[in-house]
């Protein structure tokens, strides 16, 4: 007698979403439009699983697991980060459930954790040293944190940081790495000094091309000869007014898992360029060649490829500005709501180096969209909050979808965008499940 391994519905959709439709609900799909329709028996199966009818079932996209089944995992036990979802414990990586990101300014306790190495222990901020050097640094200099605070203008800005792999869990076929869903994003305030002020103080040669960082974290293997990560940004990004060397987050010491006592913040680009536990910055006359700068790390194919393709490293490009994206933070997915009442919906939208021009909601799987009220950003490279409401025409199962557009006219795709080997830059529409009763 043989036994079959049982898998979750999410695992089923990760293996083959179109086949999952057929297995789970008996759905047939239209390959061109990516919109599916359910046979009568399949619609009955899905409705039974949800416990209610689906008024807009004719618009449901093919190969997309219903939002009602996308449940959160267990909370972490990381001190000061209660409520986050642990993805890896060495190094620590943990994301924030969408409904915990409802604040205009992300609280320290809800800032996601993305570490490549092990944070330093017994940090002494009074004796912390930051070295500035490199081939294109005119006068190499070492600063204490007190030096930074007394020699340069202090700046506080609200800045969004997002992991380049946020949303990786939705790629098919699956990409390796931490299986982030939507919670590797946050927008706290950072206090520090402008990176450009410090670089100009030391002198930047005309041949400067890149700025790289090094941190005091140790490699997960414990080998002191290995750097866990050493990335950076082109000189123009480093010289932006919003690029900071920060010592505080939301007016408090930066949490140890987020880079205490000093970190770089280059918002709008993948969070990996914002080095934590910062102790060295180098001004380079070439693209920085530190750990995880070379493809395939934090790189995507220069041209579109078929899902599952092998892409040579020399056909990859380094990720720079992140794509337009949005997140529903209220209500929490899976709620029950009185169908006779309007449902308040709110969240945030951001677009890398660009600005948000509009945010739209849909309750019919993207067949129609309505604009929301959009608040201005606190400053450049901060997210923008939106609020609207939804009115359901009758009781049943609904999904509220959100789609943002930036000032360049770029809009979020309804489903997962072009596949890449490492599962970067997923900016598909976020959606939540609502049971209207």
User: Domain for residue 79, yes or no?
Assistant: no
Provide the CATH number for the domain around residue 404: 2.60.40.650
pLDDT level of residue 30 (50, 70, 90 thresholds): very low
| N-term to C-term CA, the chain | 45
Number of compact structural domains in the chain: 3
Query: For residue 90, what pLDDT is reported?
Result: 84
**78 part of a folded domain:** no
Same domain, 281 and 307: yes
Full residue range of the structural domain in which residue 26 is found: 9-65
Q: For residue 187, give the nearest of 256, 280, 112 by alpha carbon.
A: 112
- Domain stops at, among 318, 334, 367: 318
Q: Do 240 and 283 belong together in one domain?
A: yes
CATH assignment at residue 163: 3.90.420.10
Residue 175 predicted with pLDDT over 70: yes
Which of 318, 338, 353 is the last residue in one of the domains?
A: 318
Burial letters 360-397, b for 16+ CB under 10 A, else e: bbbbbbbeebeebebbebbebbbbbbbebebebeebbb
Radius of gyration of the chain (CA): 23
- Same domain? 270 vs 374: no
Picking from 278, 299, 318, the residue at the C-terminal end of a domain is 318
314-354 confidence digits (pLDDT tens): 999 999 999 999 999 999 999 999 999 999 999 999 999 99
- Is the same domain home to 257 and 203? yes
- Mean predicted confidence (pLDDT) in 265-282: 98
User: How confident is the model at residue 46, as a pLDDT?
Assistant: 77
**Mean pLDDT within 250-271:** 98
| pLDDT, tens digit (0-9, with 9 covering 90-100), for 55-110 | 998 888 777 778 887 755 555 568 899 999 999 988 999 999 999 999 999 999 99
Judged against a pLDDT cut of 90, whether residue 22 lies above it is answered with no
Q: What is the mean pLDDT of the chain?
A: 91
The answer on pLDDT for 42 being more than 80 is no
Q: Is the pLDDT of residue 20 over 90?
A: no
Confidence of residue 12 (pLDDT cuts 50, 70, 90): low
Structure-model confidence comparison of residues 7 and 296, the more confident one = 296
Q: Are residues 222 and 141 in the same domain?
A: yes
Q: Are residues 39 and 142 in the same domain?
A: no
Chain length of the chain: 437
Q: Return the percentage of the chain with pLDDT > 90, whole number.
A: 80
Statement to judge: residues 257 and 118 lie in one domain: yes
Report the pLDDT value the prediction gives residue 32, as an integer from 0 to 100: 35
Residue 351 maps to a domain: yes
305 and 384 inside one domain: no
In a domain, 359, yes or no: yes
196 with 162, same domain? yes
> pLDDT by residue (tens digit) across 193-231?
999 999 999 999 999 999 999 999 999 999 999 999 999
Question: Does residue 75 lie in a domain region?
Answer: no
Tell me what the mean pLDDT of segment 175-202 comes to.
97
Same domain, yes or no: 167 and 232? yes
Domain assignment present for 71: no
* Token pair belonging to 123: 């940090």
Q: Is residue 314 located within the same domain as residue 330?
A: no
Q: What pTM did the predictor assign?
A: 0.91
Residues 371 and 237 both lie in one domain: no
User: Please, which pLDDT band fits residue 13 given cuts at 50, 70 and 90?
Assistant: low
Asked, for residue 191, whether it belongs to a domain, the answer is yes
The reply to whether 1 falls in a domain is no
């Amino acid at each position: 007698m043989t036994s079959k391994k049982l898998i979750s519905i999410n695992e089923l959709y990760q293996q083959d979403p179109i086949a999952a439709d057929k297995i789970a609900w008996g759905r047939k799909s239209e390959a061109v439009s990516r919109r599916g329709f359910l046979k009568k028996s399949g619609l009955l199966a899905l409705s039974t699983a949800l416990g209610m009818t689906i008024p807009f079932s004719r618009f449901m996209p093919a190969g997309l697991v219903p939002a009602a089944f996308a449940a959160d995992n267990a909370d972490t036990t990381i001190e000061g980060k209660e409520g986050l979802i642990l993805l890896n414990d060495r190094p620590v990586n943990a994301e924030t459930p969408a409904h915990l990101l409802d604040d205009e300014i992300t609280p320290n306790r809800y800032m996601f954790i993305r570490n490549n190495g092990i944070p330093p222990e017994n940090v002494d901020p009074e004796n912390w040293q930051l070295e500035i050097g490199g081939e294109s640094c005119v006068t190499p200099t070492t600063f204490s944190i007190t030096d930074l605070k007394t020699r340069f203008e202090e700046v506080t800005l609200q800045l969004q940081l997002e992991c380049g792999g946020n949303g990786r869990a939705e790629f098919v076929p699956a990409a390796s790495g931490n299986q982030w869903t939507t919670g590797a994003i946050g927008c706290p305030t950072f206090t520090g000094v402008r990176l450009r002020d410090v670089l100009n103080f030391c002198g930047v040669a005309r041949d400067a091309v890149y700025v790289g960082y090094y941190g005091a974290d140790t490699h997960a293997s414990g080998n002191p000869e290995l750097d866990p990560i050493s990335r950076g940004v082109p000189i123009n990004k480093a010289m932006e007014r919003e690029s900071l060397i920060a010592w505080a987050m939301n007016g408090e010491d930066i949490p140890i898992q987020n880079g205490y006592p000093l970190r770089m913040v280059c918002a709008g680009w993948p969070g990996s360029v914002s080095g934590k536990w910062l102790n060295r910055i180098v001004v380079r006359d070439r693209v920085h060649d530190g750990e995880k700068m070379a493809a395939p790390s934090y790189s995507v194919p220069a041209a579109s490829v078929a899902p599952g393709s092998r892409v040579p490293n020399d056909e990859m490009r380094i990720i720079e500005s992140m794509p337009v994206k949005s997140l529903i933070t209220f209500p929490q997915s899976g709620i029950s709501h009185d169908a006779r009442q309007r449902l308040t919906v709110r969240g945030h939208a951001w677009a890398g180096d660009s600005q948000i021009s509009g945010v739209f909601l849909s309750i019919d799987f993207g067949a129609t969209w309505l604009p929301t009220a959009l608040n201005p950003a606190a400053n450049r490279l901060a997210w923008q909050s939106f609020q609207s409401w939804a009115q359901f025409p009758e009781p049943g199962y609904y999904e509220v979808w959100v789609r943002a557009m930036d000032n360049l006219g770029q809009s979020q795709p309804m489903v997962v965008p072009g596949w890449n080997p490492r599962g970067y830059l997923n900016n598909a529409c976020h959606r939540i499940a609502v049971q209207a009763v």
